[in-house]
Amino acid sequence: MAGGVFSGLRRFYLALYNWVVFVGWVQVFYLAVKTLMESGHENVYQAVENPLLLAQSAAVLEILHGLVGLVRSPISATLPQIGSRLYVTWGILYSFPEIRTHVFVSSLVISWSITEIIRYSFFGTKEAFGRGPSGLLWLRYSSFILLYPTGITSEVGLIYKALPYLKESGKYSFWMPNKWNFSFDYYYMAFVVLAIYVPGSPHMYGYMVGQRKKALRKAKQA
């Protein structure tokens, strides 16, 4: 009995979570496209900033979901993807307004929002009704083929474009002497992040290709 109640509460919570975040990403996509059509890419970030920050930050809960066993997604796959997106969202775009008018912002926001609209609608439907429509399942495990490269290119491009402003401002950096006897240079950390993208992106893409094969094969056998 207790197990059934817990299972029901789990499904209700995950369905609610997915649909709430889905609405947030729909808002991001709508505002981005509307702004692009009406006033150009220079104004996209300003239009989407608040819903983007909220929708992307909500993904932190997915790490907690994996840690407590609410979902079966491995933390080793979830953490790098969410971590890199939070870094770009807060550590680059939010922190350095000088790059917010770049065209990479538009390609980033659109790539992220389409990906997440598909993903959250699929999992929201799956949690609410036990399974997602076959067409939505195919989109969930196929849209990354195009959207992952455009998203990654935009992320790397924005970090690179931000480098002069990281260096000039010294933001988030501190140097010795200090009471901790420790120094940190946010500018050089950006190079470390960019270096991680080199092996990390092909590895993640290969992981998603494997997940796609597994999911579509399972759906075909069902």
Catalytic residue flag (residue 197): no
Beta bridge partners of 174: 184
Give, in degrees to the nearest 5, the angle at Cα 213 between 212 and 219.
90
Write down the catalytic residue from 62, 116, 127, 155. Answer: 155
Catalytic residue flag (residue 127): no
| Alpha-carbon span 133 to 137, nearest angstrom | 6
| Alpha-carbon span 139 to 132, nearest angstrom | 11
Residue with tokens 């499904």: 11
Write down the catalytic residue from 98, 148, 160, 197. Answer: 148
Enumerate the active-site residues: 148, 155
